Amino acid sequence: MTFYVTTPIYYANSLPHLGHLYTMIVADTIARSKRQKGIETFFLTGTDEHGINIERAAERNNRSPKEQADYVVSYFTKMTAAFGLDTAHGGYDIFMRTTEPFHYEGVSELWRRFANAKTPKGHDAIYKGHYEGWFCAACAGYKTEDEYAKPANPNEPPTCLVHETKLDRISEESYFFRLSDYDEVLLALYESRPDFVRPEARRNEVKSFVAGGLQDLSVSRLRSSVSWGVPVPDDPKHTMYVWFEALSNYITAIGFGNEQQERAIGFEKFWPALHLVGKDILRFHAVFWPAFLIAGGVELPRGIFAHGMWLDPNGRKMSKTLGNTVELDVLNRYFSIDAIRYFCLREMVFGQDGRFGYEGLIDRTNSDLASGLGNLSSRTLTMIQRYCDGRIPSGNISEAALLPAKRAGVDTDATTISGFVEHARDEFIRYFEEFAFSRALEEAWAIVARVDKMISDAKPWDLAKEATQQQTLNAVLYRAAESLRWLCVLLYPVMPNATREIYEQVGLPGELSATDPTKLTWGELQEGSQIGEVKPLFPRIDKAKTMEEIRSQKSEVRDQKSETRPSGRVQSETRPSGRVQSETRASGRVPLSGQHTTEAEAVPGAEGVVNYIDITDFAKVDLRVGEVRSAERIPKADKLLLMTVDIGEEKPRQILAGIAQHYQPEKLIGRKIVVVANLKPRKLRGYESQGMLLAASVGEEGRPVIATFTEDVPNGARLK
């Protein structure tokens, strides 16, 4: 059995940042967990080196495009080594570069197949035409009217909504890929393979995008306008569209269309892949890429998982201009690789946006790692050192010793703890396979907490004072050490260094990277074996001092003071300023912050006016977690969206919301929102609204920003 996992290949126009590091950490974790189970795994990352944005970056830096790419790649490889993600550290298997000759060969082969292919509707897959439209160099994407902002001055070009940079006007001969013929086949694909695009909310987005109709895609540029690219076979006047060429890296890297790579790695052996991508580039992967592969007669990927974006602690997009980016060199200097990996996987619910701040990272390191796992390990091993002469004691309690053990309140039945650990292991694996890393880690930490409690309740330091309790003491320490062994095996893919260290300290032989957690058997920890040297694992970080140092390097995110951890709390998604309020009705704001306001009243605090309500008033409002199932515009009502929202009841509720000018309905599908569930139903424009959703009102114009969650929450959960 084999497995193939990929990250996107990163543009070689700028240096790597947290977003890049994150996907590599996730891919690396998945790869390690597959390898642990004996599955031969191939992990690809790399750089996307062609196109106009690389050409321009090279120009700005006075380099040739290849020199520009080499420069960025050298930084990337330094970074991957520093974070233990390269081949030498058991990480990626290939750092793919699209300037490699084998890539040219493979991608040309795919193009040739295209040139002869028919669409599912029987037309030529490729045709020559004329492209007229706008193009964003930074996205390397063609932009339709709803994807750019019109300029104030009609003589200026529009700007990209993502990058806020000016678009290029293109008017030239181009090859087109007849994407419009692939809608039905793609919809059938999403239907027949529900796991093809994950998470589900993203799958729904992709489905509605395709269902809305696809336009043919320009897949070449004239060499005279973009020369830095792969020439179109048999028509060198054209270079291939960079996304077509970049996506193809996933197959050319392992040998599609070139013998040398096929021999070294094996397309036949490893394809199809699981693609991990950021949600911003999902459409390219979930729509264009499968269509290209169908045209080329190539098997489709195993699946595509789109993760969310890292935002700053205040929920803002990270950007150089705001000065709120997380610098990799700062991370590298102040934090251990494992702490960063743990934080990334624990803090971001995979698939949703997450918040990253140095303070949060320090807090998690101190609480979960130093006081949690690290402390459990050192207290267990120190006691084994002290009370058992550094040897793993026996876990058995003989008949004669049962009574004293009971007297000490220690469970004489070892299966209580082993059953707990086994169950947590099963849950851990189940969540892991669903890529619910955060949930999986919660399971592992449930083991940490349970074993910690077992030790604190048993008080080994008291047991050690009574000769009759030697077996009880031994059993408690054996159970703790055995749990540690299990934790090491489970957590190895997430924290390869720390778990190896603990493993060694427990005195365990063998390679964690090849120990299958599904095959763990309780009791295999050898009685009598010598433990290793006990060393502290996760030193506590002095928060004030470290933050001061980081700040003084000017690399700190702004507003750290107000940093909050997204622990299931309601947060306004983009801008946390502004009050949380109702958006469905002009009047009747819902008091969420404990301060009652009506339309006529002043903003609480602004003039010292605070009208308190008491908790019973607040409890009258039944707030529930809802998931948007459908959303559509209402004819002749500019502002209103008609939605159905699942709040855990038998049938979804129909809710109207005045957000149509700010949200595209299809983008809401799958979103978790907050619903006032006990509001008297009322009719708007002939439709009954059976509740109302909450949103912050931002800025002068009261732009609604829907309240949402950054962690997984079940539909119908009550907010209180």
Binding track over 278-317 against ligand MSP, x by CB under 6 A: x-xx---------------------------xx-------
**Active-site residue, 136 included:** yes
Residue with Cβ nearer ligand MSP (8 or 296): 8
**Active-site residue, 465 included:** no
Residue with Cβ nearer ligand MSP (238 or 283): 283
| Member of 3, 11, 76, 522 binding ligand MSP (CB under 6 A) | 11
| Member of 9, 94, 490, 547 binding ligand MSP (CB under 6 A) | 9
- Which among 20, 103, 207, 307 is annotated as catalytic? 20
- The window from 14-22, 588-596, 619-627, 659-667 that contacts ligand MSP (CB under 6 A) reads 14-22
CB of 202 to ligand MSP, least distance (A): 12
- Listed in order, strand segments (DSSP E) in 243-392 are 274-278, 303-307, 310-311, 354-355
- The window from 5-13, 72-80, 494-502, 678-686 that contacts ligand MSP (CB under 6 A) reads 5-13
Tokens representing 680 are 């008297």
Name, in order, each residue with C-beta under 8 angstroms of 529's C-beta and a sequence gap of 6 or more. 391, 392, 507, 508
- The window from 54-62, 201-209, 272-280, 393-401 that contacts ligand MSP (CB under 6 A) reads 272-280
CA distances from 351 to 43, 201, 274 (A): 20, 9, 15
- Which among 50, 103, 139, 388 is annotated as catalytic? 139
SS3 710: coil
35 binds ligand MSP (CB under 6 A): no
Q: Are the C-beta atoms of 163 and 138 separated by less than 8 Å?
A: yes
- Which among 50, 160, 388, 488 is annotated as catalytic? 160
CB of 193 to ligand MSP, least distance (A): 21
Q: Are the C-beta atoms of 307 and 277 separated by less than 8 Å?
A: yes
- Which among 320, 651, 680, 683 is annotated as catalytic? 320
Tokens representing 373 are 């796992």
Residue with Cβ nearer ligand MSP (46 or 372): 46
- The window from 276-284, 364-372, 402-410, 620-628 that contacts ligand MSP (CB under 6 A) reads 276-284
Phi and psi for 386 in degrees, rounded to 5? -75, -50
| Member of 3, 4, 8, 52 binding ligand MSP (CB under 6 A) | 8
- Which among 317, 596, 662, 667 is annotated as catalytic? 317
- The window from 6-14, 193-201, 360-368, 590-598 that contacts ligand MSP (CB under 6 A) reads 6-14
**Which residue number has the CB closest to ligand MSP?**
278
Q: Are the C-beta atoms of 37 and 518 separated by less than 8 Å?
A: yes
4 binds ligand MSP (CB under 6 A): no
Amino acid identity for residue 650 in this structure: E
Residue with Cβ nearer ligand MSP (22 or 663): 22
∠566-716-308 over CA atoms, to 5°? 35
CB atoms < 10 A from the CB of 456, how many? 10
- The window from 176-184, 204-212, 275-283, 694-702 that contacts ligand MSP (CB under 6 A) reads 275-283
**Active-site residue, 388 included:** no
27 binds ligand MSP (CB under 6 A): no
48 binds ligand MSP (CB under 6 A): yes
Tokens representing 623 are 């707030």
DSSP string, 566-615: -SS-EEESS---SEEEESS-SS-----SSB---TTSPPTTTTS---B--H
DSSP string, 11-62: ETTS---HHHHHHHHHHHHHHHHHHHTT-EEEEEEEEE--SHHHHHHHHHTT
Q: Are the C-beta atoms of 445 and 372 separated by less than 8 Å?
A: yes
Phi and psi for 313 in degrees, rounded to 5? -60, -20
User: Footprint of ligand MSP on this chain (CB under 6 A)?
Assistant: 8-11, 19-20, 22-23, 48, 246-247, 277-278, 280-281, 309-310, 318
Residues known to be catalytic: 17, 20, 136, 139, 160, 163, 317, 320
